[in-house]
Amino acid sequence: MIYLQLIIQIMKKPRFKPNESYLHLHAKRVLTSWLAYDYIRIVEEEKFCMGGCIWFTPDLSCYNEKGLADIYEIVNTNDVDVFKQWRINLYLELHKWDVNVYTIDANWIMRQTAPPQSINMLKIL
């Protein structure tokens, strides 16, 4: 329990100021349109909170009839850092959720001329 309280204290400190590029924003919207038929609900920038602080905010949280199914992170200049991967993993384990976490390159999304037959993504968790 002390370990969890220490983690919460660390996470209450702001890590960065959100500043989304147009490339990232539009790639997120295009990916949402591609995934719309596979899920019953897709939420952009959903905040996952615990202990009074935000643990992580994925680009897309995708839900099926059973609940949260997949999380998508769109990457451009930087991959998802190890600390964010750790936070996501710990949060999902504490809630006993079996959720896939994927990263997708924003440039790859924006280079497509039509919805692809398969999406070029990397499973990170």
Spans of all domains in the chain: 2-123
Read off the tokens for 66: 């059973």
Alpha-carbon gap, residue 28 to 25, rounded angstroms: 5
**DSSP 8-state symbol, 79:** P
Q: What percent of the chain has pLDDT over 90?
A: 70
Q: What percent of the chain has pLDDT over 70?
A: 86
**DSSP 8-state symbol, 30:** H
Read off the tokens for 33: 């349109």
Neighbours of 63 (CB within 10 A): 15
One of 2.40.240.10, 3.40.462.10, 3.40.1350.10, 3.30.43.10 is the CATH number of 2-123, namely: 3.40.1350.10
Mean pLDDT of all residues in the chain? Answer: 89
pLDDT in tens, 8-53: 666 555 555 567 899 999 999 999 999 999 999 999 999 999 888 8
**DSSP 8-state symbol, 96:** T
Short-list 105, 101, 81, CA closest to 30:
105
Alpha-carbon gap, residue 35 to 30, rounded angstroms: 9
- Contact by Cβ (8 Å): 71, 61: yes
pLDDT in tens, 63-104: 999 999 999 999 998 899 998 999 999 999 999 999 999 999
Short-list 53, 82, 85, CA closest to 71:
85
Read off the pTM.
0.85
Quote the pLDDT of residue 125: 79
